[in-house]
């Protein structure tokens, strides 16, 4: 028999609001993030231990500034030299993967969860979850919202306040609501700061 968790992993509509297994997993995650967010900033060893226990995959060097919130934790994978500033949220009903050298500014959200437009299905507790992938060397500005199913390519910069509703390719500057490619990142961008 297909469980609600299996349906979520397959990108199907699933019961996120009343399924006992998923409710228990979110409760466990909420307790862990509560513990994380109560630590002093200087308790770096304890923070790393909690995050390694919470996330599905981590590499050696990473920083996540509290407060931080997520739904399950085990669907989150972060690369080497990952930095996420304060007050970020990851709704990880599906996989959320970050590459190496990703910098995330304050107040960002990564939302794999979506709800049916049909009111009867929506109020019955059904939702869907689509994965989010962020490539290597990506910088995401403050107050960015990344929606279900989005991929962001390597070396890309997403400007502050953007709502990312569609895939963004590699090596570009993109911003806006909805977020769109503004231009490619070029050699001029490297020399700009050497003046």
Cis previous bond, 67, omega within 30: yes
The single residue of 57, 107, 115, 143 carrying the catalytic annotation is 115
The reply to whether 107 belongs to the active site is: no
Distance, in Å, from the CA atom of 62 to the CA atom of 46, rounded to the nearest integer, reads 13
Contact between 110 and 91 (Cβ < 8 Å): yes
Catalytic site positions: 115
């Amino acid at each position: 028999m297909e469980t609600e968790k299996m349906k979520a992993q397959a990108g199907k509509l699933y019961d996120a609001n009343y399924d006992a297994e998923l409710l228990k997993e979110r409760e466990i995650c909420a307790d862990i993030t509560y513990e994380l967010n109560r630590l002093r900033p200087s308790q770096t060893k304890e923070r790393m231990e909690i995050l390694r226990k919470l996330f599905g995959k981590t590499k050696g060097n990473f920083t996540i500034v509290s407060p931080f919130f997520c739904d399950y934790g085990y669907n989150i994978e972060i690369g080497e030299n990952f930095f996420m500033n304060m007050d970020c949220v990851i709704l990880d009903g599906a996989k959320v993967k970050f590459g190496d050298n990703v910098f995330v500014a304050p107040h960002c959200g990564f939302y794999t969860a979506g709800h049916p437009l049909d009111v009867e299905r929506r109020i019955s507790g059904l939702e869907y979850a689509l994965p989010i992938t962020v490539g290597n060397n990506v910088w995401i500005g403050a107050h960015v919202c990344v929606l279900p199913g989005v991929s962001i390519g390597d070396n890309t910069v997403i400007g502050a306040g953007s709502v990312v509703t569609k895939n963004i390719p590699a090596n570009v500057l993109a911003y806006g609501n909805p977020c769109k490619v503004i231009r490619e990142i070029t050699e001029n961008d490297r020399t700009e700061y050497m003046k």
